[in-house]
Chain A
Amino acid sequence: MSLTITRPLAAPAFRRFRRHRLAAFGAATILLLTLGCFLGPFLLPFDDTTIDIMNRFAPPLSGVHVLGTDELGRDMLARLMMGGRVSLMVGFTAMAIGMAVGILVGAVAGFHGGWLGAALMRFVDAVLCFPSIFLLLALAALVSPGLLSIIILIGATSWMDVARIVEGQVKSLRERDFAVAAEVLGASDARIIVHELVPNAVAPIVVAATLNVARAILLESYVSFLGYGIQPPVPSWGNMLNNAQIYLTSAPWLAILPGLAITLAVTSFNFLGDGLRDALDPRMRAR
């Protein structure tokens, strides 16, 4: 059965449909998650911070709390929604910052080469020299803890990989026919970068972006653990997972629910990215 699918021209209509369906699924899920997290709390009868110590560890579907309660008797659904606000915001914004900086630095360095390229790439190397914990420590010393500072922190530690990958791609693409042709035709540098090189390097960029969303969501909980993140009682999917550690056997839903939420968000984003990549990649477009 899979053989018919591997053949490039065997069932193009089916393939396109399938591809779109996954991408559409991804987009729809992200939209739903976002809407749910930002509007949902207004519809719920429970607050995410109200403690009900007599009613803690209620399993899902066991009473008025649809998804159960946590170690302090707080409503899990409310916490998942409020946590989603933080995690989705951190995940996507930090990724966007990382991508923007990384692509800019990588593309300019790869395209120009010479002293500017070398200087930029050595700068990337220098930043990479510091392990992320170290950078977090440094930035945390300079900015006060909060949602915005976490986003900046994580964004600032996740652009170097992208810069490296983009630089490598652009450097090798620059010498190829279409770029040389564009140069000969007198296109401006910026135009060549934006219209020829970056779209051709889109494949690894999308992969890196997907990985970075997951990384940012998890890194947020780690930063909080180190004491520079958002403070309790504000929930995030990452710190919900973190706190559920000691209840692995006694109350597994405390971990499964936020774990599912993160997986759903990251997977959806990946499918969306896959579709996006097809749409942007010039070679795919040609066919």
Chain B
Amino acid sequence: MVDFRTDRRAVLGLGAAAALAPRVGRAQPRPPERPRGQVVVGLSQEPTVFNPLMPGIEVDQGVWWNLFSPLWFTDPEGNLVADLAQDVPTTENGGISADGLAWKVKLRPGVTWHDGTPFTAEDVKFTLELINNSAFRARSRVGHQLVRDIQVTAPDEITWRMERAYAPYLSILSLTFMVPKHILGAAGDPNTAPFNNAPVGTGPFRWASRTAGDNITLTANTAYHGNGPFLERVVFKYIPDLTVLYTQFRTGQVDHTSIQGISPPFVREARTLRGRTIHVNQQASVEHIAPNLEYGPLADKAVRQALYMAINKRALIDAIYYGLPTPSESFLPRQSWAFNPDLPAHRHDPAAANALLDQAGWRRGAGGVREKNGVKLEFTNSTTTGNPVREQSQLLLMQDWRAIGAGMRVQNMPAAVIWGEFWQQSRFQSVMVAVNFTLGADPDVTPRFHSSAIGAKGGRGQNNYQFANEEMDRLLVLGATQFDQAQRRATYHRIQALLREELAILPLFQRADVEGVKEGLNGYRPNQNCSSNCWNIREWFWTA
């Protein structure tokens, strides 16, 4: 039997620890009666995609949260909260059938689009169909492609059937924004519709203007169906340079620095600024060294173990990242319900690493670099250029590894190059990268570690490490078809233990982003389960 409660709880687990830094004493300020004032959000990348179904990055999603609404969303504590839907469908309330195949969603009444047209079940049907429209450049069809027989049974009720039970679909829908049928449906080509640059949604703010390369301005939607908005205007300001972004936050031209807000070297100084609050938010992504497991020396497990032991993780986190992130042994964030807390802890032990390599037959050769059967213990490490903090980490690792006779060379590339075929077709030797392995909040990592997901071998997925392990394949299939959370947790604990043992990735730490908020601005609540902490600007307001 399929019990969707478990999977709903799956979403719940993420984020409890991400709950906001305690609000400082005094009486809670109250939001104003009418929207008042404006907030300038500084972003280091430019939002350019305003159709929420098309490919976009975090900054785009930050804008979407304010223009559009999903059927339900995940709050910082991990609860699913109904938005455009009346309730979140579950097996108890009859929204989802016991076998997980039949879904029924009742919609909230009285919701209107920004142009005044009522929002109905036809819009939901249109949205789901558009995603599956082969001519449309949809961001992702994962989950959506299983939807069949969409029927509008009443203006405020929609049903559909799933081709097979797919638990993460609740999470996926919590990140799927509804688009208006009466506008996009009337447009000839949805890829180039005028809507894409003048979006109309049901969100708390409506589209006002965009100056390309500079800013996007939204104004309050006074007819919003939920709580808020309390701000008259939101300006998303593109500030490409991080030093400049921080400076503008410092001088007060920017009220909130979002996503890559404040880079670690500025944090100490930022904490001393008057009238500014600094938040350190644990992210779901894990920074790691991605070895190419088919590349010469890195194919040897002993080498990976020795490399891992040689890393002075403490120095890396404390000195280069100013102690902000949390060391990690797993690919999952520690807030996840599936997180395995009993993995063997990393220990920095160059002597043991050296001994391990000696034992495995890697002998020191010319220049102190080890060799075995003519293969040199040498490899390159790549990351995106122009990231000074990552570069410093690379250099530290280089020195750590030189001490055990492993030669690492830096080979950094621009984003458009490194994340292309180089990464996807496993042309790298090793990469330094942060990945959010969860799908929504689900711990399923089949696309990342299943042997059938290796792009370089014609597989479908992102197993760029080229990890192939029979036990892993078996466990991944098991985990995706189990529905009892206790059983599922056991499976994912084993998966994490196996990955830690094999060191298919060398985990460094769970990332922490530092964001700043100007004093007097209330309502900021970081949310690990949404891709942007701009998810709830509707609740923000200035202290009078």
Give A contacts to B, CB under 8 Å: 49-51, 53-54, 56, 71-72, 224-227, 231-233, 243, 245-250
Pair A232/B396 contact, Cβ less than 8 Å? no
What is the CA–CA distance of A245 and B386 in the complex, to the nearest angstrom? Answer: 12
Pair B392/A72 contact, Cβ less than 8 Å? yes
Pair B395/A72 contact, Cβ less than 8 Å? yes
Given contacts A231-B410, A246-B388, whether A56 and B319 have CB atoms under 8 Å apart is yes
Interface residues of B toward A: which range?
A: 20 to 34
Residue of A nearest to B244 (CB): A245
Q: Which of B242, B266, B395, B417 contacts A232 (CB 8 A)?
A: B395
Residue of A nearest to B398 (CB): A233
The 3 nearest A-B residue pairs measured at CB: A227-B385, A227-B414, A231-B410
By a CB distance below 8 angstroms, the chain A residues around B319 are 53-54, 56
By a CB distance below 8 angstroms, the chain B residues around A225 are 385-386
Pair B396/A72 contact, Cβ less than 8 Å? yes
User: 1/0 per residue B381-418: CB within 8 Å of A?
Assistant: 00001101001101110110000000001111110010
B33 at the interface (CB under 8 A from A): no
B263 at the interface (CB under 8 A from A): yes
Q: Which of B242, B398, B409, B417 contacts A227 (CB 8 A)?
A: B417
What is the CA–CA distance of A225 and B391 in the complex, to the nearest angstrom? Answer: 12
By a CB distance below 8 angstroms, the chain A residues around B263 are 246
**Nearest CB of B to A244, in Å:** 10
Pair A53/B315 contact, Cβ less than 8 Å? yes
**Nearest CB of B to A175, in Å:** 48
Q: Which of A72, A231, A247 contacts B411 (CB 8 A)?
A: A231
Pair A231/B409 contact, Cβ less than 8 Å? yes
What is the CA–CA distance of A233 and B338 in the complex, to the nearest angstrom? Answer: 39
Which of B243, B386, B392: most chain A CB closer than 10 A?
B392
Residue of A nearest to B386 (CB): A225
B269 at the interface (CB under 8 A from A): yes
Given contacts A226-B414, A227-B417, A232-B391, whether A250 and B386 have CB atoms under 8 Å apart is no
Residue of A nearest to B241 (CB): A245
Pair B385/A243 contact, Cβ less than 8 Å? no
**Nearest CB of A to B260, in Å:** 13
What is the CA–CA distance of A72 and B315 in the complex, to the nearest angstrom? Answer: 11
B265 at the interface (CB under 8 A from A): yes
What is the CA–CA distance of A100 and B411 in the complex, to the nearest angstrom? Answer: 32
Pair A233/B410 contact, Cβ less than 8 Å? yes
7 contacts between A and B (CB under 8 A): A51-B395, A226-B385, A226-B414, A227-B414, A243-B388, A246-B263, A250-B269
Within 8 A of A (CB), among B263-291: 263, 265-266, 269
By a CB distance below 8 angstroms, the chain A residues around B410 are 231-233
What is the CA–CA distance of A51 and B412 in the complex, to the nearest angstrom? Answer: 20
**Nearest CB of A to B418, in Å:** 8
**Nearest CB of A to B390, in Å:** 10
Pair B243/A231 contact, Cβ less than 8 Å? no
**Nearest CB of A to B175, in Å:** 32
By a CB distance below 8 angstroms, the chain B residues around A53 are 315, 319, 396
Q: Is the interface of A mostly helix, strand, loop or mixed?
A: loop
A243-B388, A248-B243 known; 19 new pairs, CB 8 Å cut-off, are A49-B395, A49-B399, A56-B319, A71-B265, A71-B392, A72-B392, A72-B396, A225-B386, A227-B386, A227-B412, A227-B413, A231-B411, A232-B410, A233-B395, A243-B391, A245-B243, A246-B243, A250-B265, A250-B269
By a CB distance below 8 angstroms, the chain A residues around B242 are 246
By a CB distance below 8 angstroms, the chain B residues around A248 are 243
What is the CA–CA distance of A56 and B395 in the complex, to the nearest angstrom? Answer: 14
**Nearest CB of A to B421, in Å:** 14
Residue of A nearest to B385 (CB): A227
Residue of B nearest to A233 (CB): B395
User: 1/0 per residue B238-276: CB within 8 Å of A?
Assistant: 000011000000000000000000010110010000000
User: 1/0 per residue B522-538: CB within 8 Å of A?
Assistant: 00000000000000000
Within 8 A of A (CB), among B311-349: 315, 319
What is the CA–CA distance of A225 and B388 in the complex, to the nearest angstrom? Answer: 10
What is the CA–CA distance of A220 and B240 in the complex, to the nearest angstrom? Answer: 21
Which of B395, B398, B411: most chain A CB closer than 10 A?
B395
Q: Which of A231, A246, A249 contacts B412 (CB 8 A)?
A: A231
**Nearest CB of A to B508, in Å:** 15
By a CB distance below 8 angstroms, the chain B residues around A50 are 399
By a CB distance below 8 angstroms, the chain B residues around A51 are 395-396, 399
Q: Which of B266, B399, B414 contacts A246 (CB 8 A)?
A: B266
By a CB distance below 8 angstroms, the chain A residues around B396 are 51, 53, 72
By a CB distance below 8 angstroms, the chain A residues around B391 are 232, 243
What is the CA–CA distance of A50 and B402 in the complex, to the nearest angstrom? Answer: 11
Pair B395/A249 contact, Cβ less than 8 Å? no
By a CB distance below 8 angstroms, the chain A residues around B417 are 227
**Nearest CB of B to A227, in Å:** 4
By a CB distance below 8 angstroms, the chain B residues around A247 are 265
By a CB distance below 8 angstroms, the chain B residues around A54 are 319
What is the CA–CA distance of A103 and B58 in the complex, to the nearest angstrom? Answer: 51
By a CB distance below 8 angstroms, the chain B residues around A71 are 265, 388, 392
By a CB distance below 8 angstroms, the chain A residues around B386 are 225, 227
**Nearest CB of B to A9, in Å:** 54
Which of A71, A225, A227, A243: most chain B CB closer than 10 A?
A227
What is the CA–CA distance of A225 and B241 in the complex, to the nearest angstrom? Answer: 13
**Nearest CB of B to A202, in Å:** 40
What is the CA–CA distance of A243 and B394 in the complex, to the nearest angstrom? Answer: 15
Residue of B nearest to A231 (CB): B410
What is the CA–CA distance of A25 and B396 in the complex, to the nearest angstrom? Answer: 41
**Nearest CB of B to A69, in Å:** 13
**Nearest CB of B to A74, in Å:** 9
What is the CA–CA distance of A72 and B391 in the complex, to the nearest angstrom? Answer: 11
Q: Which of B269, B385, B398 contacts A249 (CB 8 A)?
A: B269
Within 8 A of A (CB), among B440-499: none
Residue of B nearest to A224 (CB): B385
**Nearest CB of A to B361, in Å:** 29
**Nearest CB of B to A165, in Å:** 33
By a CB distance below 8 angstroms, the chain B residues around A56 are 319
Residue of A nearest to B414 (CB): A227
Residue of A nearest to B411 (CB): A231
What is the CA–CA distance of A171 and B409 in the complex, to the nearest angstrom? Answer: 51
What is the CA–CA distance of A91 and B386 in the complex, to the nearest angstrom? Answer: 22
What is the CA–CA distance of A226 and B411 in the complex, to the nearest angstrom? Answer: 12
By a CB distance below 8 angstroms, the chain A residues around B269 are 249-250
**Nearest CB of A to B112, in Å:** 47
By a CB distance below 8 angstroms, the chain A residues around B243 are 245-246, 248
What is the CA–CA distance of A195 and B468 in the complex, to the nearest angstrom? Answer: 72
Residue of A nearest to B413 (CB): A227
What is the CA–CA distance of A147 and B435 in the complex, to the nearest angstrom? Answer: 33
**Nearest CB of A to B22, in Å:** 29
By a CB distance below 8 angstroms, the chain B residues around A243 are 388, 391
What is the CA–CA distance of A165 and B443 in the complex, to the nearest angstrom? Answer: 64
What is the CA–CA distance of A243 and B319 in the complex, to the nearest angstrom? Answer: 17
By a CB distance below 8 angstroms, the chain B residues around A232 are 391, 394-395, 410, 412
By a CB distance below 8 angstroms, the chain B residues around A226 are 385, 414
What is the CA–CA distance of A71 and B393 in the complex, to the nearest angstrom? Answer: 11
**Nearest CB of B to A106, in Å:** 34
**Nearest CB of B to A287, in Å:** 52
By a CB distance below 8 angstroms, the chain B residues around A72 are 392, 395-396
By a CB distance below 8 angstroms, the chain A residues around B394 are 232
Residue of A nearest to B391 (CB): A232
